[in-house]
């Protein structure tokens, strides 16, 4: 009999807490069972194994991040929208490092729910890039540039990769400003491939 009050969503929420506390790479079913106060076999009533738990956490974290990004970008365009997205992602990663890492994982082929959330997230970034008149293949390149710049900075920050005595907020702001400048001339540049 499943523990009263424990269900799939609560197991994922506990996994999110564990991942945020110890890192996504140290997320185990045993750690979640301990956090839930149940024996390990009890979790199998709510999740099919560690791979499925990681997948469920990725979906939940991406859904949570997408909601924050949608609110942050609402009513903004161009540079303001780009900074809103970037600030939201960095803030989310700082508050929820394990969930952020989970949200960054690509969906498995055929996982319709995860693929749809990923597509919606990419669509939001493409919408922001629309103010720069970036579309088609140029938009794909630009989305990748946004992701690489933001994820690279956030990941290095989380791992302690920035030790110089320079304000990280200023550096991050300048990075996003550099993307803004690049995107003002981005459209059509990819045609010369």
Q: What is the pLDDT of residues 85-111, one digit of tens each?
A: 999 999 999 999 999 999 999 999 999
Q: Work out the burial of residue 164: count CB atoms within 10 Å of its CB; fewer than 13 is exposed, 13-18 middle, 19 or more buried.
A: exposed
What is the pLDDT at residue 42?
85
Residue 29 located in a structural domain: no
Instruction: Please tell me the total count of domains within the chain.
Output: 1
Domain of residue 157, CATH code: 1.10.357.10
Residue 33 sits at φ, ψ, to 5 deg, of -60, -45
Q: What is the DSSP letter of 10?
A: H
Residue 181 located in a structural domain: yes
Would you say the C-alpha torsion 112, 113, 118, 119 has a positive or negative sign? Answer: positive
Residues 57-74 have pLDDT tens digits of 999 999 999 999 999 999
Torsion angle (degrees, nearest 10) of CA 57, 63, 68, 71: -170
Assess whether pLDDT exceeds 80 at residue 48: yes
Residue 24 located in a structural domain: no
Range of the domain at 76: 57-192
Residue 180 located in a structural domain: yes
Residue 7 located in a structural domain: no
Residue 13 located in a structural domain: no
> What b/e sequence results for 1-37 when a residue is b if at least 16 CB atoms lie within 10 Å of its CB, and e otherwise?
eeeeebeeeebbbbbbbbbbeeebeebebebbbeebe
């Amino acid at each position: 009999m499943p523990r009263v009050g424990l269900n799939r969503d609560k197991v994922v929420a506990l996994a999110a807490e564990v991942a945020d506390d110890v890192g996504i790479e140290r997320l185990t079913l045993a750690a979640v069972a301990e956090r839930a106060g149940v024996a390990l076999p009890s979790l199998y009533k709510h999740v099919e194994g560690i791979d499925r738990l990681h997948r469920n956490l990725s979906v939940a974290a991406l859904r949570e991040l997408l909601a924050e990004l949608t609110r942050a970008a609402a009513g903004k365009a161009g540079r303001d929208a780009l900074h809103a997205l970037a600030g939201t992602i960095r803030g989310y990663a700082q508050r929820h490092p394990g969930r952020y890492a989970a949200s960054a994982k690509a969906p498995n082929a055929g996982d319709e729910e995860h693929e749809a959330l990923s597509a919606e997230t990419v669509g939001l970034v493409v919408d922001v890039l629309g103010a720069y008149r970036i579309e088609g293949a140029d938009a794909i390149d630009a989305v990748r540039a946004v992701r690489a710049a933001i994820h690279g900075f956030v990941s290095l920050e989380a791992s302690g990769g920035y030790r110089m005595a320079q304000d990280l907020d200023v550096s991050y702001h300048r990075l996003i400003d550099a993307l803004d400048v690049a995107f003002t001339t981005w459209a059509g540049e990819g045609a010369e491939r």
